[in-house]
Amino acid sequence: MEKTLYIKDFSSVEVFIEFLYIHGIHRQARNLCKALGLQLHLTNLKEKYSSKVNLDERTKHQVRSSLKAMAGQEDSSQQSLLNIEDYYQLTAIAQGLQSGSKILEVGTYKGASTLALAIGSEKSSASITCMDLYMGFKNEQMTRVDSPLHNEYLVWQKNVNHYCNRINSIHGSSISGLQRLVSEGVKYDLIFLDSSHALDTFFELALISCLANPNSIIILDDVINYNWVMTTTWAMGLKHFLCFPRFSNKLSIANFKISALPINISYEPNCIFESAMQLDNIFKSFEEDNIKAYTKKHSNSEFTINFCTSI
Ligand SMILES: C[S@@+](CC[C@H](N)C(=O)[O-])C[C@H]1O[C@@H](n2cnc3c(N)ncnc32)[C@H](O)[C@@H]1O
């Protein structure tokens, strides 16, 4: 069996793979590198786009124990939705802020990420504006019947109470909350977006782009191999106002700037997910694990990738 994928607008397969990687399409980039024998290229990309921030052991301990102490916890894993390395990453990035900076967090849930950001910004005394609907998460929507007073909001308040002098809360939909901030003309230096992971995310990022200073940092959860909306939102950001993409576990990080990507290609953001789907379908159509691929160049910007089980 042989399958062919036609690629245009890229000068080489290495550039195409880098492009997939930048867009959080890591699984397909990995599969393609393996099939083409380009594992070293993948290692270099991981290194080039990894978010390198360090956190000292004392602060790591502070983050761990704050998460453990979150109110009402029976099982700490249900309180914190990211893994501990991601919370360290949030703390470390917040530690890089200048005194008097502003942080915006969209999607707090019970406050684990708020705590990580608050711990990181202790020195800079950054203010933190937090936004959430507090409608519960997954099965917790069931509690709405019993808790019309938004139990999650009370839990979040209790969890982050120690930092309350630096925290403002916007309790409600992100779209209206962000619109309000845009109309107030406020700018933020660090923005963490971890809310619906659905269509709202498009609009959230578009509004957030009006709330950032040049070089502000944005951190998004779940861009990497997540869903069409997250991929396309991130792609829209990279095309229009984000630069220096980097990755850490589940988090995708970038700076705001009107600047070009490290590689220069014209594309439509919603085509990227299509490339990912085509690659997935090709890899799925081969039952064997041992897929090989080779490329054939047609012009300076067009080539095909041929997939087969033996060459
Ligand atoms: C994945 S959780 C956030 C997890 C949190 N960042 C943490 O690390 O613990 C997503 C949160 O986004 C909130 N959310 C979802 N859609 C929203 C929207 N349109 N506006 C405001 N909040 C929203 C949910 O209520 C939920 O608390």
The predicted-structure confidence for 51-95, as pLDDT tens digits, reads as follows 999 999 999 999 999 999 986 565 555 566 789 999 999 999 999
Distance 225 CA to ligand 1 centre (A): 19
Instruction: Report whether pLDDT(278) > 70.
Output: yes
Among 122-126, 266-270, 278-282, the least confident range: 266-270
Query: Ligand 1 centroid vs 261 CA: distance in angstroms?
Result: 29
Mutation test of ligand 1: which of 128, 196, 197, 233 has the most ligand atoms closer than 8 Å to its C-beta?
Answer: 196
Domains with residue ranges and CATH for the chain: 2-49+268-308 (no CATH), 59-256 (3.40.50.150)
Higher-confidence residue of 76 and 4: namely 4
pLDDT of residue 142: 46
Q: Is the CB of 1 under 6 A from ligand 1?
A: no
Q: What is the mean pLDDT of residues 255-275?
A: 75
pLDDT beyond 80 at 21:
yes
Least confident window among 35-49, 148-162, 216-230:
148-162
Report whether residue 97 contacts ligand 1, using a CB cutoff of 6 Å: no
Query: Using a 6 Å cutoff on CB, does residue 133 contact ligand 1?
Result: yes
Q: Whose CA is nearest to atom 26 of ligand 1?
A: 109
Distance 109 CA to ligand 1 centre (A): 5
pLDDT higher for 310 or 225?
Answer: 225
DSSP β-bridge partners for residue 217 = 190, 255
What average pLDDT does the chain have?
90
Is the pLDDT score of 167 beyond 60?
A: yes
| Pairwise pLDDT comparison (96 vs 155), residue with the higher score | 96
- For the Cβ of 174 lying below 6 angstroms from any atom of ligand 1, the answer is yes
Specify the pLDDT at position 286: 86
Ligand 1 atom nearest 110 alpha carbon: 9
- Compute the distance from residue 105 Cα to the ligand 1 centre, in Å: 10
Of the residues 63, 109, 129, 249, which should be mutated to test ligand 1's pocket, given the most ligand atoms within 8 Å of the CB? 109
Please tell me if the CB atom of residue 114 comes closer than 6 angstroms to any atom of ligand 1.
no
Burial readout 67-95 (b: 16 or more C-beta within 10 A, e: otherwise): beebeebeeeeebbbbeeebbbbbbbbbb
Residue 150 predicted with pLDDT over 80: no
User: Where is average pLDDT lowest: 72-81, 234-243, 281-290, 301-310?
Assistant: 72-81
Instruction: Provide, rounded to the nearest whole percent, the portion of the chain with pLDDT above 90.
Output: 75
- Is the distance from the beta carbon of residue 245 to the nearest atom of ligand 1 less than 6 Å? no
Beta bridge partners of 168: 129
pTM (global) more than 0.75: yes
Q: Is the CB of 112 under 6 A from ligand 1?
A: yes
